[in-house]
Amino acid sequence: MNIEQQPIENHQVKLTVQVEPSKLEDAKHRAARQISQRKKIPGFRPGKAPYQIVVRTFGEEAILDEALDLLVKDIYPSVIEEAKIKPYGPGSLENMPKLDPPTFEFIVPLEPEVALSDYKKIRIPYKLKSITKKDINKVLDDLRERQVILEPSTQPAQEGDQVYIKLNINRLNPAEGVMPSLVSDRRMPVVIDSADKDNKNEWPFTGFSKKLIGLNSGSESVFTYKYPDDSEFKELRGTETEVRVR
């Protein structure tokens, strides 16, 4: 087996492979046996018809096509091994320029090569940040919130409460072809933020949880809301909505 290598773009290699004609002849006979096993030939048991009978019955081209498939499967692992390349993925048979001798052209993607420079010389100045009392209190508050015990309440919702709601939001005057519903019967828990907290990433909009203050279990609130031009949710900027909370 003779193999020629040619590097090509996109970090691939073209392998031109020539094999001995005897290997193709052997593959043709194996292909004929497989064809005679799958397809009935009058007067012969499956797989027992002579080679020339199979050729006359199904044609040289049908046998050659199957033989080439068999031959490629046979030689490809050896081709990769003899070429001493490291494929990134399976190669593909791009062309078969001639049959005498049988010649195949494979395109094989190669493993990426990474050349590390002297990365150990890269340094970024680092200055230890001083820890303030405010930072400590923030961590303590976070720990308290994580360990909080939830207890049922019959009082109207207030700051710090966790409430369970069913939410519907619909566009007012939606443009043609635009679905009016933004949120439909969404059931979710909400923790009501304190008055001095302004969470720009709050969903469905900043200040939503504060709208729940004063609501009782089972009550419903309906109000309108227009997403401002500087809303964090860019696709909703300027959108007027009706909000219904139970």
Q: Is residue 3 predicted with pLDDT exceeding 80?
A: yes
Q: Give the other-Cβ count within 10 Å of 55's Cβ.
A: 17
pLDDT per position as a tens digit, 48-93: 899 999 999 999 999 999 999 999 999 999 999 999 999 999 899 9
**What is the model's pTM?**
0.46
CA distances from 228 to 26, 62, 71, 210 (A): 76, 70, 68, 17
- 29, two tokens: 């006979």
| Every domain of the chain and the residues it spans | 2-109, 152-245
**Angle of helix 21-38 relative to helix 51-58, nearest 10 degrees?**
70
- CATH H-level, domain 2-109: superfamily: Trigger factor ribosome-binding domain (3.30.70.1050)
pLDDT per position as a tens digit, 108-128: 999 988 888 888 888 999 889
CATH class of 152-245: alpha beta
Q: Are 243 and 222 in contact (CB under 8 A)?
A: yes
**Is residue 237 classed as helix, strand or coil in its secondary structure?**
coil
